[in-house]
Amino acid sequence: SVMRGEEANEKLWELMAEYIDSEKSTIQKSIVAHVEYTLARTRFNFDKNSCFKATALSIRDRLIESWNDTQQLFTAEDKKRVYYMSIEFLIGRSMQNALVNLGLEDKYREALEEVGYKLEELYDEEVDPGLGNGGLGRLASCFLDSLATLDYPAWGYGIRYDYGIFRQMIVKGYQVEMPDYWLAQMNPWEIERSDVSYDVYFGGRVEKRWENGVEKSNWIPSETVKAVAYDNPIPGYDTFNTINLRLWKSIPTNEFDFQSFNQGDYFRAIETRQKAEYITSVLYPNDSTPSGKELRLRQQYFFCCATIQDVIRRFLKKSRDWEEFPDKVAIQLNDTHPAISIPELLRVLVDKYGLEWQRAWNICYKVFSYTNHTVMPEALEKWSIELFERLLPRHLEIIYLINFHFMNQVGQRYANDPKKFDIMGYMSLIEESRPKTVRMANLCIVGSHAVNGVAALHSNLLKTQLFARFHEYFPNKFQNKTNGVTPRRWIKCSNKPLSDLYQKYLESNSWLSDLTETKSLMRFIDNEEFKEEFRLAKQQNKERLARWIEKECGIRVPTDAMFDIMVKRIHEYKRQNLFALYMIHRYFTLKAMSVDDRAKQVKRVFMVGGKAAPGYIAAKKIIKLINSIGDVVNNDPDIGDLMKVVFLPNYCVSSAQIIIPAADLTEQISTAGTEASGTSNMKFVMNGAIIMGTMDGANVEIVEDVGIQNSFIFGARVHEVDKLRQHSGQPAGTRLQKLFDAVKNGTFGNPKELSSLIESLEHNDVYLVKSDFYSYIEKQAEADATYKNQDQWLRMSITGALNMGRFSSDRTIKEYADEIWDLESVEIPKPSLNAMSR
Ligand code: 9GP
């Protein structure tokens, strides 16, 4: 007889429990089933890549299981949810992270060994999805990991680009960009939701009509594309909570352009449809500077429009009053890229659901909050009115309306101020420039209930400089949320020797959920055994990196040397050029020494990695300069192993996981007041590197916690910068001029190409390379002296690593939840790790 109701349900539970239990044989069965039936390969053709895919699919089954349960629970509990909107998510590889978070790494390792594979080999098979440029996108991914781990009801929303950030190759010392078609192989983690799709419109005109004495607007667009959802389950650590990263892909709609077809212009009609797919085809490879291209605005609107529809659909599953919307929905805008969501939500509320303007506005600004990630004024997004009008005519009207109300209020507030019109001009959402533009940051500030910077110093600069007038007007809106990074990926997955050490001495893994626990290990700071184990962990990581460098660059580096590393996007404000000048200085100093003196010097391997935006000429020249220094130094027999210079190609999340744990010294040397926070500084110090840095971004807070005596801090402080800039044409001083001349006379690379890098420092040194240079080389000398005392170095390194609890993204996310989103976590049962028992 057919089982129904409870009985049938129970059977289903039983079957699932059997399918998903954590027995080695169950894992093996699911892998083999995926090889045979999903990939349609045979057991006899079971190569590494198919083993990787089948293993990933078997892990995904588990993720889907907990994902489904989580979503059901979110719906049942009906608590407020947060939606993290970001045009970039720099996800990195997923397999190891998923296994660590599920507590199944050892089980899968055992299961795979019996079928002929080492788990670590499979990790290397995975492509690294590079759907982001750098810090901003990686932060978004760390945040999702923490949101899931802390049991928050949260979703991420973004774009599923076909081409991620380009693959960087170094050819004859130059950066060459190769397309990254990361989807060439199947993406085993995502779930295509062809049933979840929304129409997104562009262009056209706005029609007006009167209804009961009120003017109504009707947008008649001229183009339609479809947004299709791709879901990526994000598991939390030591919890069943599995949240969702929903990425949108653009496809043509099924409505044909009958006119073109009727005219027999079949190919033109198809071509128009194909244009729809361009929208999500490629990530813009610019970091911190807007591209200003029409396609970019299309991308922004595309993902915002689909997301807002999705969020509203979920809200309206239950019938309720719109006033409840802010009690159920919080939307975080990651930089200004999703800013168009604000007028979009207003448009939907007013035009579609007929809410009166003021009512819609009151709902809207409670929902949104905005994070600013840079103070570089040139990085603030502005879109020309002309483009806006052509692409989003109704949104432009709404922006004008927001501005009209806002300007009225500002005008009243400053009614008696002689500078009233200047103030209004400064705060307006519209810049009266040529061409006239919409200022997206101003839109975000006005349309959000909270605005935050990403480190204390940065948040203060927002209040006192970049957004000073807004801070005066809305004093309670501005907050700070110092960034953090997830210890699951950045310690547990990247640094096995250190994780094992923590587990051994803390006798548990609970430090992974509360990173402040590592501080208690300070009691071992005089324990020789502990220190030696810590030193050995670093040494193992250095050897792993040395092997990687030999494979990728064909250079052998001595692992008894100090590893001095700078990896991040190449930017003048980050000052890779300052680092390069130091390398030249050191090379000349070594060359001038007697053989005996040279033998007493600390060996160093200088490593630089990072991508330059394809159109950023100065940044590309810096890459070439570093490679040219390497060519000279690495081939100089006088120097040998005393100094090596390596450019690490194609810096990305997966290489970061090998590079960061191997550093002795980390270069965090941006001009004070330019780097909003930095997050690699946190990852490096957590992994035992010592900071060589300026008082900039989050360095300031790191130094607060680990102690200034455990860091090498140099250079102008933020309050000194403006004054120093006024003298940016000052002479370099003898020692620095000698280095400038060396580049200009061709000692390193072709002076025709590289001299301009030096000339810009000579004449207009915006980022204060000249004035910081001398304190920098002094600190570098101090670092050498310290390194000679290995015990002291080790103590500094250990103290740094153990005192980084504050910089876990768990702390950051908790602050966002409490102070911005007003978000509660959902009660989700904790699995006991390695058991997956329910
Ligand atoms: O440049 C900042 C970096 O300092 C910060 O750590 C990161 C995350 O908050 O954001 C970067 N900003 C951008 O990538 C673009 O604004």
Please write the tens of the pLDDT for every residue from 96-108: 999 999 999 999 9
Average pLDDT over residues 102-129: 95
> Are both 450 and 574 inside the same structural domain?
no
Structural domain including 607 reads 558-804
| Gap between the Cα atoms of 209 and 725, Å rounded | 56
Name the residue of 84, 374, 567, 767 to mutate for ligand 1: max ligand atoms within 8 A of Cβ: 374
Average pLDDT over residues 495-522: 97
User: For residue 552, is it within any domain?
Assistant: no
How is residue 586 written in tokens? 């050191």
Instruction: Name the residue with tokens 């051994």.
Output: 504
How is residue 250 written in tokens? 């653009």
Instruction: Name the residue with tokens 């009008």.
Output: 389
pLDDT for the residue numbered 67: 93
Name the residue of 454, 457, 458, 816 to mutate for ligand 1: max ligand atoms within 8 A of Cβ: 454
Centre of ligand 1 from the C-alpha of residue 829, in Å: 35
Active-site hit among 41, 80, 273, 373: 373
Task: Locate the ligand 1 atom nearest the alpha carbon of residue 454 and give its number.
Answer: 9
Contact indicator for 668, 691 with CB cutoff of 8 Å: yes
| Gap between the Cα atoms of 699 and 705, Å rounded | 10
> Are both 258 and 137 inside the same structural domain?
yes
Average pLDDT over residues 477-498: 98
- Confidence check: pLDDT of 343 > 60: yes
Considering only CA atoms, which residue is closest to atom 14 of ligand 1?
136
Residue 71's H or E segment, with its range, is helix 48-77
Q: Cβ < 6 Å from ligand 1: which residues?
A: 134-136, 139, 287-288, 335, 373-374, 379, 454, 483, 675-679, 697
Centre of ligand 1 from the C-alpha of residue 57, in Å: 33
Q: Is 226 a catalytic residue?
A: no
The residue out of 480, 503, 530 marking a domain boundary is 480
Q: Rounded mean pLDDT of the chain?
A: 95
| Gap between the Cα atoms of 689 and 318, Å rounded | 52
Q: Is the ipTM of this complex over 0.95?
A: yes
> Are both 590 and 449 inside the same structural domain?
no
| Gap between the Cα atoms of 669 and 580, Å rounded | 12
Entry pTM: 0.97
pLDDT for the residue numbered 257: 59
How sure is the predictor about 292, in pLDDT bands with cuts at 50, 70 and 90? confident
> Are both 471 and 565 inside the same structural domain?
no
> Are both 576 and 671 inside the same structural domain?
yes
Contact indicator for 609, 651 with CB cutoff of 8 Å: yes
Contact indicator for 835, 26 with CB cutoff of 8 Å: no
- Confidence check: pLDDT of 832 > 80: no
> Are both 445 and 577 inside the same structural domain?
no
In 3-state terms, what secondary structure has residue 507?
coil
The rounded percent of the chain whose pLDDT value lies above 90 is: 89
The residue out of 429, 447, 480 marking a domain boundary is 480
Average pLDDT over residues 700-724: 98
- Confidence check: pLDDT of 263 > 80: no
Centre of ligand 1 from the C-alpha of residue 312, in Å: 30
Active-site hit among 93, 488, 571, 574: 574
pLDDT digits (tens, 9 = 90+) for 471-486: 999 999 999 999 999 9
pLDDT digits (tens, 9 = 90+) for 602-625: 999 999 999 999 999 999 999 999
> Are both 338 and 203 inside the same structural domain?
yes
Instruction: Name the residue with tokens 């010392």.
Output: 173
Angle ∠(572,675,127) on CA atoms, nearest 5: 80
User: Looking at 12-21, 84-93, 452-461, which range is the least confident one?
Assistant: 12-21
CB atoms within 10 A of CB 198: 18
The count of structural domains within the chain is 2
pLDDT for the residue numbered 693: 98
Contact indicator for 594, 696 with CB cutoff of 8 Å: no
Q: Is 568 a catalytic residue?
A: yes
Q: Is the peptide bond before 435 cis (omega within 30 degrees of 0)?
A: yes
Considering only CA atoms, which residue is closest to atom 6 of ligand 1?
678
Average pLDDT over residues 143-156: 97
pLDDT digits (tens, 9 = 90+) for 554-579: 999 999 999 999 999 999 999 999 99
User: Looking at 29-38, 511-520, 580-589, 779-788, which range is the least confident one?
Assistant: 29-38
Active-site hit among 620, 683, 744, 770: 683
Active-site hit among 53, 538, 569, 585: 569
pLDDT for the residue numbered 270: 81
Partners of residue 453 on adjacent β-strands: 480
User: For residue 572, is it within any domain?
Assistant: yes
> Are both 563 and 470 inside the same structural domain?
no
For 627-679, the DSSP string reads HHHHHHHHT-TTTGGGEEEEEESS--HHHHHHHGGG-SEEEE-PPTTT-S--S
Average pLDDT over residues 772-787: 98
Average pLDDT over residues 673-683: 98
> Are both 577 and 470 inside the same structural domain?
no
What are the distances in angstroms from CA 593 to CA 581, 589, 597, 601, 633?
A: 19, 7, 6, 10, 15
User: Looking at 20-24, 59-63, 795-799, which range is the least confident one?
Assistant: 20-24
Report DSSP state, residue 131.
B
pLDDT for the residue numbered 838: 35
Average pLDDT over residues 659-670: 98
> Are both 471 and 615 inside the same structural domain?
no
Considering only CA atoms, which residue is closest to atom 3 of ligand 1?
678
User: For residue 502, is it within any domain?
Assistant: no
User: For residue 511, is it within any domain?
Assistant: no
Task: Locate the ligand 1 atom nearest the alpha carbon of residue 483 and give its number.
Answer: 9
Nearest to 512 by CA among 837, 766, 149, 777: 149
- Confidence check: pLDDT of 731 > 70: yes
Centre of ligand 1 from the C-alpha of residue 676, in Å: 6
> Are both 641 and 786 inside the same structural domain?
yes
Average pLDDT over residues 526-553: 98
How sure is the predictor about 837, in pLDDT bands with cuts at 50, 70 and 90? very low
Task: Locate the ligand 1 atom nearest the alpha carbon of residue 138 and give its number.
Answer: 8
pLDDT digits (tens, 9 = 90+) for 404-440: 999 999 999 999 999 999 999 999 999 999 999 999 9
Centre of ligand 1 from the C-alpha of residue 350, in Å: 34
What are the distances in angstroms from CA 603 to CA 455, 606, 640?
A: 34, 10, 10
Contact indicator for 31, 17 with CB cutoff of 8 Å: no
- Confidence check: pLDDT of 836 > 60: no
Q: Is 569 a catalytic residue?
A: yes
User: Looking at 19-33, 99-113, 392-406, which range is the least confident one?
Assistant: 19-33
What are the distances in angstroms from CA 188 to CA 16, 21, 49, 99, 128?
A: 21, 21, 12, 14, 12
Centre of ligand 1 from the C-alpha of residue 482, in Å: 12
User: For residue 721, is it within any domain?
Assistant: yes
Residue 268's H or E segment, with its range, is helix 266-278
Centre of ligand 1 from the C-alpha of residue 336, in Å: 12
pLDDT for the residue numbered 377: 82
Centre of ligand 1 from the C-alpha of residue 399, in Å: 27
User: For residue 21, is it within any domain?
Assistant: no
Contact indicator for 512, 492 with CB cutoff of 8 Å: yes
pLDDT for the residue numbered 202: 96
The CATH number of whichever domain residue 640 belongs to comes to 3.40.50.2000
Q: Is 449 a catalytic residue?
A: no
User: For residue 19, is it within any domain?
Assistant: no
Considering only CA atoms, which residue is closest to atom 10 of ligand 1?
136
Task: Locate the ligand 1 atom nearest the alpha carbon of residue 134 and give its number.
Answer: 14
Average pLDDT over residues 784-806: 98
The residue out of 451, 480, 509 marking a domain boundary is 480
Contact indicator for 101, 235 with CB cutoff of 8 Å: yes
Partners of residue 220 on adjacent β-strands: 205
- Confidence check: pLDDT of 342 > 60: yes
Q: Which residue has the higher pLDDT, 264 or 529?
A: 529
Name the residue of 90, 136, 333, 462 to mutate for ligand 1: max ligand atoms within 8 A of Cβ: 136
Task: Locate the ligand 1 atom nearest the alpha carbon of residue 133 and give its number.
Answer: 14
Contact indicator for 608, 576 with CB cutoff of 8 Å: yes
Considering only CA atoms, which residue is closest to atom 15 of ligand 1?
288
Strands 562-567 and 604-609: parallel
φ/ψ (deg, to 5) at 757: -60, -40
Residue 144's H or E segment, with its range, is helix 135-149
Q: Is 496 a catalytic residue?
A: no
Q: Which residue has the higher pLDDT, 468 or 379?
A: 468
Report DSSP state, residue 322.
G
Centre of ligand 1 from the C-alpha of residue 167, in Å: 21
Nearest to 86 by CA among 139, 46, 127, 37: 139
> Are both 568 and 441 inside the same structural domain?
no
Name the residue of 677, 683, 699 to mutate for ligand 1: max ligand atoms within 8 A of Cβ: 677
